[in-house]
Amino acid sequence: MFKKKDTTNLTFYTSGSKQKNDLFSPQEGMKLLPDWFRTIDRSQEDATLATCPGFVDLFKNSINIPLWSDVSITYKNDQLINVQMPGIGQITRDFVQVHNSNQWGEGFKNSLHIKLMNPWHVTSNIDTPFLMHDAVWHKENISDYNVLSGVIEFKYQHANHINIMLPKSDNEKTVLLKAGTIIAYLTPLTNTKLSIESKLVPHEQWLGLTNYISSFKTPYAIAKKIGKKIIKWVM
């Protein structure tokens, strides 16, 4: 008997702007291929990315995360000077955060960290691990920034924020990331089918998906431990 492949049902929730839901919701990879992909001459005899199994299978099995707003980042060396997003007067920790370099010791000496707080919260029916990784195939200039990779799941926590490293510059530098830019990929690390939908919900419902746990330990680890206990009790 062959085991039926599980289906991971992901729901992406946001609040506020209907435009954000309509234009910038996460999508299946094959629906948001890089623009240059459509320019490939498929009549040529040489192999191309249009038929490359590694490339095609990545997008068949991934979710593309579009940037939900224009973001202008100005910095110099390891100092963040300014971050601007349209319609937002003062950029607070609800939109952008910066991690202190002491979190990674002697690593990344030539980079500046910034975290974009994703307004999409995600739920999942099962504990499927996903690799969040840099959307390199969608970049116009690979060296402008790098999205840091990490494994994440959405049954016990619902955030999918974007951690970025910017290359340090001796001169003041501004990086402009445009709304709709594919900023990251989510690729499942198990053999699962994917089903995704997006929903625009009231702010209170969206806020209810934020993990707030009072603990000196890692909040995610606590949330996952408590969540598994609740499921065990119910079962």
Model confidence pLDDT, tens digit, residues 152-198: 999 998 999 999 999 999 999 999 999 999 999 999 999 999 999 99
Q: Please give the Cα distance from 175 to 37 (Å, whole number).
A: 25
What pLDDT sits at residue 89? 72
The angle formed by the CA atoms of residues 141, 64 and 19, to the nearest 5 degrees, is 100
Low-confidence ranges of the chain (pLDDT < 50): 212-216, 230-235
Asked whether 180 and 24 are in contact (CB, 8 A), the reply is yes
The angle formed by the CA atoms of residues 154, 67 and 182, to the nearest 5 degrees, is 90
What pLDDT sits at residue 224? 64
Helix (H) or strand (E) holding 83: strand 79-84
Structure tokens at 225: 């431990």
What pLDDT sits at residue 231? 42
What pLDDT sits at residue 62? 97
What pLDDT sits at residue 234? 37
pTM for the complete prediction? 0.87
